[in-house]
């Protein structure tokens, strides 16, 4: 039984006819940049998340770059973030000429550890940038309290957490700005690159709308140096169809997670994901902490079962950030997790037989 890490064939099977219809509408007027579907998607996303402004852009990475720039963060400023995340979280700070300051993670949730944030705050700190890793929101109650106390902005990197909630509140709605990625493998994926910024703040929304078009307002008059970062009309058309499915897909992922939680619970060598009782995860990934991780990975691959390491090297130890002068053991939890984590297939179209095959293969390895 083959079980891929993600099966886009299965995902698109049912919805391709509707996507074709929606794309035909784009071909009927050829408004490829900022067409009708972009505005429609933004409105639909505002409603889905209950956030006042959605601003589509070209990728989740660009959404972060735009968010940081909109807050006026740049040269000489510091942004506190997690080292256990995808590269773009930190590169977006760097690309705005600010300095990423990495704070270690909570070993239970893999998210930024609020108890370690205050020690990292300096007079140059401008913002905290938590990531809702693997679909589980960071502890936004604690993080917002620290941010208010020290007068810091909060940017939520929600590339992996669309629709996840914390204490009954939607991710992306806690901080000043939240961002989304529609990279094809995310829970809501486009047929290419796309992203979005979200905010309840009218002024920030207006500025981000300008920043995505070269910082111009009106046309050919530039108050800021912005980006060329629009969300393609064709991608918006695809996402409009897929957004209707998202809640059901998230529910499917949670059901699969519940299956694994039960099926793997008595295997001593693996720890299934811990979800904070205040959080509802959308399981962008289902990530185990394992003994002999590399051996298990090899075993699963031999059985035709997909799995992946998110992430094999903490960002503070990446070569490109050598000038920040971090060294091994500076952030021990993150570094340890990069040696122990393994994500297994969790996509909603998994069949019962596939779920059983994954669980059986893990069980057999440790027997």
Ligand X SMILES: *Cc1c(COP(=O)(O)O)cnc(C)c1O
State which residue, 185 or 301, has the beta carbon closest to ligand X. Answer: 185
The footprint of ligand X on this chain (CB under 6 A) covers a number of residues equal to 15
The yes or no reply on residue 289 touching ligand X (CB under 6 A) is: no
The minimum distance between CB 319 and ligand X, in angstroms, equals: 19
Q: Which residues pair with 157 in a beta bridge?
A: 131, 179
The minimum distance between CB 307 and ligand X, in angstroms, equals: 17
State which residue, 121 or 131, has the beta carbon closest to ligand X. Answer: 131
The yes or no reply on residue 187 touching ligand X (CB under 6 A) is: no
The minimum distance between CB 81 and ligand X, in angstroms, equals: 10
Report the interhelical angle of 246-263 vs 352-366 (nearest 10°): 30
Vertex 166, ends 163 and 169: CA angle to 5°? 70
Distance CA 50, CA 40 (A): 15
Mark the segment that binds ligand X (CB under 6 A) among 34-42, 95-103, 152-160, 253-261. Answer: 152-160
Among 7, 11, 19, 60, binds ligand X (CB under 6 A): 60
The minimum distance between CB 14 and ligand X, in angstroms, equals: 24
The yes or no reply on residue 19 touching ligand X (CB under 6 A) is: no
Least Cα distance to 332 among 316, 349, 343, 353 occurs for 316
**How many CB atoms lie under 10 A from the CB of residue 95?**
15
Mark the segment that binds ligand X (CB under 6 A) among 69-77, 94-102, 153-161, 353-361. Answer: 153-161
The yes or no reply on residue 84 touching ligand X (CB under 6 A) is: no
Helix residue ranges per DSSP H, the chain: 8-13, 16-29, 36-49, 60-70, 88-94, 140-150, 202-211, 233-243, 246-263, 293-302, 332-340, 352-366
Among 88, 90, 93, 98, binds ligand X (CB under 6 A): 88
Q: How far is CA 281 from the centre of its chain?
A: 12
Mark the segment that binds ligand X (CB under 6 A) among 59-67, 73-81, 93-101, 262-270. Answer: 59-67
Q: Considering only residues 91 through 150, tell me which ones interact with ligand X, judged by CB under 6 A.
A: 131
State which residue, 90 or 362, has the beta carbon closest to ligand X. Answer: 90
The yes or no reply on residue 35 touching ligand X (CB under 6 A) is: no
Backbone angles phi, psi at 55, to 5 degrees: -125, 105
- Burial, 178: exposed, middle or buried (Cβ in 10 Å; 0-12, 13-18, 19+)? buried
The minimum distance between CB 186 and ligand X, in angstroms, equals: 6
Token pair belonging to 204: 């920030």
State which residue, 78 or 157, has the beta carbon closest to ligand X. Answer: 157
Among 139, 193, 232, 349, binds ligand X (CB under 6 A): 193
The minimum distance between CB 190 and ligand X, in angstroms, equals: 9
Distance CA 108, CA 257 (A): 16
Distance CA 70, CA 360 (A): 49
Helix residue ranges per DSSP H, 272-331: 293-302
The sign one gets for the Cα dihedral 48, 51, 52, 55 is: negative
Site string for ligand X, 323-362 (x = CB under 6 A): ----------------------------------------
The minimum distance between CB 217 and ligand X, in angstroms, equals: 25
Q: Which positions touch ligand X (CB under 6 A)?
A: 59-61, 85-86, 88-89, 131, 157, 159-160, 181, 183, 193, 195
């Amino acid at each position: 039984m083959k079980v891929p890490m993600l099966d886009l064939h299965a995902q698109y099977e049912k919805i391709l006819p509707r996507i074709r219809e929606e794309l035909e509408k784009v071909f009927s007027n050829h408004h490829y940049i900022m067409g009708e579907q972009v505005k429609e998607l933004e409105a639909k996303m505002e409603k889905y998340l209950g956030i006042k402004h959605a601003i589509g852009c070209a990728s989740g990475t660009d959404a972060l770059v735009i968010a940081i720039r909109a807050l006026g963060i740049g040269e000489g400023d510091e942004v506190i973030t997690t080292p256990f995340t995808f590269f773009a979280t930190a590169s977006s700070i760097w690309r705005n000429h600010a300095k990423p300051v990495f704070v270690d993670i909570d070993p239970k949730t893999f998210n930024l550890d609020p108890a370690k944030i205050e020690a990292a705050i300096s007079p140059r700190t401008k913002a905290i940038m938590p990531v809702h890793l693997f679909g589980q929101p960071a502890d936004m109650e604690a993080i917002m309290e620290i941010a208010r106390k020290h007068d810091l902005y909060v940017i939520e990197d929600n590339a992996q957490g669309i629709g996840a909630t914390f204490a009954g509140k939607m991710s992306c709605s806690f901080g000043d700005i939240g961002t989304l990625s529609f990279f094809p493998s995310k829970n809501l994926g486009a047929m290419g690159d796309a992203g979005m910024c979200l905010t309840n703040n009218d002024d920030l929304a207006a500025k981000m709308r300008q920043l995505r078009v070269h910082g111009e307002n009106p046309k050919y008059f530039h108050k800021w140096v912005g980006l060329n970062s629009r969300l393609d009309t064709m991608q918006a058309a695809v996402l409009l169809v897929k957004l209707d499915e998202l809640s059901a897909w998230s529910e499917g992922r949670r059901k699969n997670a519940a299956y694994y939680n039960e099926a793997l619970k008595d295997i001593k060598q693996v720890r299934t994901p811990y979800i904070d009782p205040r959080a509802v995860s959308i399981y962008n990934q289902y990530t185990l902490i394992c003994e002999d991780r590399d051996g298990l990975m090899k075993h699963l691959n031999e059985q035709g079962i997909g799995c992946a390491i998110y992430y094999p090297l903490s960002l503070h130890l990446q070569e490109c950030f050598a000038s920040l002068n971090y060294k091994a053991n500076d952030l021990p939890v993150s570094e340890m997790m990069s040696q122990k984590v393994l994500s297994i297939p969790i996509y909603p179209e998994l069949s019962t037989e596939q779920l059983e095959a994954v669980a059986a293969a893990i069980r057999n390895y440790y027997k």
